[in-house]
Amino acid sequence: MDPGEYQAIFEASPDGCLVVDPQGVIRAANARVEEMFGWSVEELLGRGVEALVPEAYREAHTGHRSRYGADPHNRPMGAGLDLRGQHKSGATFPVEISLSPWSRDEGTMRIICTVRDVTEYRRLRNFSEGAMQASEEERQRIARELHDDTAQRLATLLLRVRRLAEESTAAGRAALLAEIREEIVDAAEGVKRMARGLRPPEIEELGLALAVAAHVRSLSEGGQQVVETDLGVVDPYLDVTTKLALYRIVQEALSNARRHSGSNQALVRLFVDDDTVVAEVTDEGRGFLLSRAMDSGGGLGLVGLRERASMVGGRLTIQTAPGEGTIVRAVVPHTALGGQRA
């Protein structure tokens, strides 16, 4: 293989590739490094590799590099190290790095560094872990409701039935039957409430707008949140799967606003915009730094919202800043009339 072919492979690599000398000076870099770190290749050549390391870790990195230079060896990608790179702007991001020593013909040693941005991988992994945790919490919630509400009502019914069998007077039996009927109605309502939380029947029976309205009404009646609505006619443009995804996005966005915004008020909008349907949840609360929430791992719920939108071919954006409230907007394409995905 001639040098031109090696150069082509170097440039075409989907990972960032750096060639560094034993003193930590960058001697070569490919286009992916430029894209990943924001420095042009020309700016990087001759610069110390510590420029790509977060400032807080540079001194320690120099020591690690010196020790590696004394004992160069192959270090594979994903060696269990928690590493971060630093963009020219100062932003940091998680990376995995492999190192391979290379001796040139004249005996000069170089270190080939392969750098992979694992931001999306970490987010998806965290989302997967968070989804499993959320699923387990949902099971626990249902178990608690069944134990604390449904099981207790059934136990009460059993006692009343025993009393009914022992009651000798017609008036007493009539009173007990009335109590039993009331308990059965209450137990049935509790089961319906749990079922509605798992999959709201209004989605298929009445449509997205009425399902959202019913959820908002339950929040208001429970004193949890004051939510205004502006719900347009969107159901003819959506299939059931997309309706459910948008319902869950609205539900989660309202829950986030209630827990984190510092405001008890929100606005939900559903409307058609050209060839898309938009679901939007707005609060005028404290807002937050989106990049910090994602980097700190606090953005699991936000990743989940984006995943829900993505699964039905849509996209989700979050507009927020400290002191400026938050707008969560999901945009999905029209689906074919009749309930089939286009």
* Predicted structure pTM score: 0.50
Please say whether the beta carbons of 187 and 154 come within 8 A.
yes
Each residue's pLDDT, cut to its tens digit, for the chain (342 residues) gives 666 777 888 888 899 999 999 899 999 999 999 999 999 999 999 999 999 999 888 988 888 888 888 888 888 866 567 789 999 999 999 999 999 998 876 678 899 999 999 887 777 776 666 666 666 766 776 777 777 777 888 888 888 888 888 888 988 889 889 888 888 888 887 776 666 656 666 677 778 999 899 889 888 887 778 899 999 999 999 998 899 889 989 988 998 898 888 888 999 999 999 899 999 999 989 888 876 665 544 554 677 788 888 888 999 999 998 888 999 999 999 874 444 444
Q: With CA atoms as reference, report the closest residue to 248 among 190, 197, 314.
A: 197
For residue 211, give every residue at least 6 positions away whose Cβ sits within 8 Å of its Cβ, in sequence order, or none: 200, 202, 203, 243, 247
Distances (CA, A) of 85 to 52, 62, 119, 291: 6, 14, 11, 15
The residue assigned the tokens 């997205």 is 208
Query: How far is Cα 118 from Cα 274, in angstroms, rounded to an integer?
Result: 36
Query: How far is Cα 97 from Cα 79, in angstroms, rounded to an integer?
Result: 8
Please say whether the beta carbons of 249 and 330 come within 8 A.
yes
